Structure 1
Amino acid sequence: MDWRIELIFVPVTDVDRAKEFYTRIGFHADVDVTPEPGVRFVQLTPPGSACSIAIGAGLGSQVPPGTLDVIQVVVPDADAALAHLRELGVEAEGVDEQDWGRFVRFTDPDGNRWALQQLVPYD
């Protein structure tokens, strides 16, 4: 039996601002629906990813906006990812060299923290 993580909820305060941010950095807007008054569901997928994120309103999340700091995405080139983010005006930390990877960190407009990891050869 396969178990695949395909959707992670990212809590935000302003759905339109968050959607603009994520699409600006390259996420594809897959779904944006309001199935009933007070409920909005937006699904966005990073380029090349099988896992999407969901943002929205009225979805019943217990996680306060801006507190998520556990999303890690693998990228082929940390330097290119850093340059891409900075070209788009995103404040991203420089490349952090570790034995298990090269990392670039940034936050979304609500303060949710992301880590981009370039895998390095492991012996």
Structure 2
Amino acid sequence: MDWKIELIHVPVTDVERAKDFYVKIGFHPDHDHRVSDEVRFVQLTPPGSACSIAIGEGLGLDLEPGRQNTIQVVVPDADEALAHLRSLDVEADGVDEQAWGRFVTFADPDGNRWTLQELPRGS
């Protein structure tokens, strides 16, 4: 039996600002539905990913905006990912070299932190 992670919620304070940020860095805007005056669901997918993120209003999340800091994404080249983010004026930490990979971190406008990992060769 396969278990596939397909959606992760990212809490934000301003849905339009967050959506604009994620689209700017290359996420595909899959859905943007206002279900009611209180509920809006936006789904975005990183390029090449089978897992999307959800942002919105009235989604009943217990997590405060800016507190999501556990998402890690594998990228083919950490240097290229860093250059891409910086070319878009996204503040990103330089490449952190570790035995288990090369890492770049950045935050969205609310402070939700992302880690991009280039796997070690031969992994």
* Bin for the TM-score computed over the shorter chain: over 0.9
TM-score (norm 1): 0.98
Deviation for aligned residue 1:97: 0.1
Runs of 4+ in 1 over 6 A off after TM superposition: none
Amino acid at match of 2:43: Q
Deviation for aligned residue 1:121: 2.6
Aligned residues: 123
Deviation for aligned residue 1:2: 1.1
Aligned to 1:91: 91
Deviation for aligned residue 1:29: 0.1
Matched, 1:39 2:3: no
Amino acid at match of 1:93: D
Amino acid at match of 2:119: L
- Deviations along 1:50-102, one digit per CA (max 9) or x if unpaired, are 00000000000000000111000000000000000000000000000000000
> Percent sequence identity over matched residues?
71
Matched, 1:82 2:50: no
Preserved contact between residue 92 and residue 106 of structure 1 (Cα < 8 Å): yes
Aligned to 1:60: 60
- Whole-Å Cα distance in 2 between the matches of residues 122 and 48 of structure 1? 21
Q: Secondary structure at the match of 1:81?
A: helix
Preserved contact between residue 100 and residue 122 of structure 1 (Cα < 8 Å): no
Preserved contact between residue 7 and residue 51 of structure 1 (Cα < 8 Å): yes
Q: Secondary structure at the match of 2:35?
A: strand
TM-score (norm 2): 0.98
Deviation for aligned residue 1:108: 0.3
- Unmatched runs of 5 consecutive residues or more in structure 2: none
Instruction: State the Cα RMSD in Å.
Output: 1.0
Aligned to 1:23: 23
